[in-house]
Structure 1
Amino acid sequence: MAKYNTLLYYCYSTIADAEQFAADHLKFCKSLGLTGRIIVADEGLNGTVSGTAEACKAYMDAVHADERFAGTEFKIDEVDTPSFVKMHVRYKSEIVHSGLRDPNMINPQKQTGKHLEPVDFMAMKDDEDVVILDVRSNYEHSLGKFKNAITLDIENFRDFPEKINELAKYKDKKILTYCTGGIKCEKASALLLHEGFKDVYQLHGGIIKYGKEAGGKDFEGKCYVFDNRLSVEVNSVNPTVISTCYNCGKVTDKMINCANPECNEHFTQCDECGTAMEGCCSDACQSHPRKRVYDGSGYYVKVPQPVNIKNKKVELA
């Protein structure tokens, strides 16, 4: 039996004095011995935390005891080791960065696409009048995506609004959006509705819940996750691998971060190239003086990087 759990969750709920809440929440998480990454904003919480089963249960109980977050749904994975090294809780302007700050345009607490449970999503996804839309970034959908899904050429979710015009030809279709855990779909589906799309749905709980409750049928490849696992299996029904090594083109489902911290590119790389390139995406990164030691996992604890602000060198965590 696995000794640890990893929890993935989000909740759109207004938090008064969210910056102070973030500081207090960090202390609470540390008191439980949790590791992970949580974003706190005025609009809610977005987190992945890991710890013993007992600590994770205590955390979920505490979150649910707060009336603001009582409806939070946790996706729970059993893991052999904690999925993070440190515990971070940070206050930001949004819990998923879209660049859309106008609550009259995007407010998941007021309007989103219709939520589809995994079995309903599976039943609807192959209908002729349906378009499956992946709202994640390039490096995520290159590792895995739903069969026949529309993918967008975006580096970050904040680029999604710029792609709306490319989707206009699908306005008379049923749009089924999906992402890792559901959080991006809340804003993506809301924006689509704002832009005149009439029939918009979203996969409730995202790819992770779909894998757990519907066997992951027709999800091709693996799902990228934002912790030191980097990717997880989804499909136990008809699994396949769709990603290839960035360096040699060999089929591989291994996702890593470039060993050069000033690049830190997310890319797929086979073990052979990983060894030869020392976990780097290019010769230039391999010869970089700050290159990190590659241990085969492709995951690194974040290292502060120097940046220049008004000619003064400072360290950013």
Structure 2
Amino acid sequence: MVLHNRVSAAELRKRLELETFKRVTISFYQYAKIEDPQAFRDQLYESLFKLDVFGRIYVAHEGINAQISVPEHHFEAFRSTLYAISFLNGIRLNVAVDDDGKSFFVLKIKVREKIVADGIDDPTFDMANRGKYVDAKGFNELTNDPETVIVDMRNHYEYEVGHFEGAIEVPSDTFRDQLPMAVDMLKDQKDKNIIMYCTGGIRCEKASAYMLHHGFKNVFHLEGGIIEYTNKAREQNLPIKFKGKNFVFDERLGERISEDIISQCHQCGEPCDTHTNCLNDGCHLLFIQCESCAQKYNGCCSEACKEVHALPEEEKAALRKGVDKGLMFNKSRRKRIK
């Protein structure tokens, strides 16, 4: 069988809309030694494709990182398939907090150098020496102590729309930059309890190992990240200390954790936490836009992009020629973009 998709995105989105069954959005990861990532990738693709699984999965020598959607009627078969892989047997599956079943429309599995890009090239760094897991209850108890340091290991645009009370932002849009920044920011607090968190656990787990590698003593990382924390806190009727929306890297672009809106529209400054991508295909800037500005700018980030978006398709295609694709999906730190 062909081990990659050959159908257009438009057709795949149409097929998703026509589905009559429910899907559940799941994320999971595991640091483990994979001898032949390409062979593992191909076998996994064949297995998941048969179960109509959609999503984005990265495979590397250091393990696997996955965000997927699974048809409910195939969930048990999916879990059995996953658990049949020795290093994934019994792995925690993070179920989305706020799920419409439309998170993904195609299956993509890619082989990468790392499952999360970290910029670490120190051969003495060891992921086996990582921080202590802390669950929802333990997180709440530890963070009741004002001396506990809470560190958000997500990007700026994720922190902007939602974060834990009192959490420190490491102000960068790449994880590889955040690691040395976190060490420098906290260098005078090496003996304090430090809790690191992220969306599903993969970044904060590696960050905890990095902090220990640099001489920190009492480092914890939130088990399963924000997603697992929220699910467990709700199950156990615990106070939820996360405020706002949890940014996610799929079609939803966010899942509501609390009703608090802690960010603003990047165009008018009104309270808003709805991320969108500029509809101008030559831009696609990721930004926050309220409903009023979405109408005013026709889903675009500026008047200039609005004008381009309104042009006939042939003219738009001509303008896109030579566009630096490296600018696509730029995560702006600017508060206003009009």
Q: Structure 1: which 5+ runs fail to align?
A: 294-303, 310-317
Deviations 1:41-80 (A, max 9, x none): 1111101111311223322221111112114210123844
CA contact (8 A) 2:99 2:255 kept: no
TM-score normalised by the chain length of structure 2 = 0.80
Count of residues in correspondence between the two structures: 294
Match of 2:195 among 176, 183, 197: 176
**Residues 1:142 and 2:151 aligned together:** no
- 3-state SS of paired residue (2:82): helix
- C-alpha deviations, 1:225-283, integer Å up to 9, x for none? 11111111223xxx411011011110012121222344333221111111212222223
Q: Counterpart amino acid of 2:30?
A: C
C-alpha change, 1:103 and 1:263, in structure 2 (3 Å) is farther
Show the counterpart of 1:186: 205
Relative distance call for 1:217 and 1:292 in structure 2 (3 A) is farther
Report the equivalent of 2:87. 68
Secondary structure (helix, strand or coil) at the match of 2:186 reads helix
CA contact (8 A) 2:29 2:63 kept: yes
TM-score (normalizing by structure 1): 0.85
How big is the shift at 1:197? Answer: 1.1
Partner of 1:81: 101
Deviations 1:101-158, CA, capped at 9 Å, x for gaps: 44521x33x1111100111101111302201000100010001001111001111212
Contact preservation (8 Å) 1:22, 1:40:
yes
* Deviation readout 1:280-317 (Å, 9 max, x if unpaired): 22233333469999xxxxxxxxxx997889xxxxxxxx
- Asked if 2 retains the 8 angstrom alpha-carbon contact of 1:212 and 1:234, the reply is no
134, 137, 142: which one pairs with 1:119?
A: 137
Q: Which runs of 4+ in 1 moved over 6 A?
A: 290-293, 304-309
Give the root-mean-square deviation of aligned CA atoms. 2.6
- Residues 261 and 157 of structure 1: is their aligned pair in 2 closer, same or farther, counting only changes over 3 Å? farther
| Kept after mapping to 2: 8 A contact 1:15/1:43 | yes
1:31 to 2:40 alignment: no
More helix by share: 2
Counting aligned pairs with the same residue, the percent is: 35
Aligned partners of 2:121 and 2:206: how far apart in 1?
11
Unaligned stretches of 5+ in structure 2?
Answer: 1-20, 314-319, 326-338
Q: Secondary structure at the match of 1:119?
A: helix
Distance 1:201 1:272 in 2: 42
Q: Say if 1:219 and 1:27 are closer, same or farther in 2 by CA, change over 3 A.
A: same
CA offsets 1:183-207 (integer angstroms, 9 cap, x no match): 0011111111111111100110100
Give the structure 1 partner of residue 302 of structure 2: 282
Structure with bigger strand share is 1
Tell which deviates more after alignment, 196-205 or 123-132.
123-132
CA distance in 1, matches of 2:267, 2:197: 29
Task: Report the Cα distance in structure 2 between the residues aligned to 1:228 and 1:243, rounded to whole angstroms.
Answer: 20
Q: Separation in 2 of the partners of 1:32 and 1:291?
A: 41
Q: Would the alpha carbon gap of residues 52 and 285 (structure 1) be closer, same or farther in structure 2, given more than 3 Å must change?
A: same
1:252 aligns with 2:272: yes
Larger Rg: 2
Q: Which amino acid aligns with 2:62?
A: E
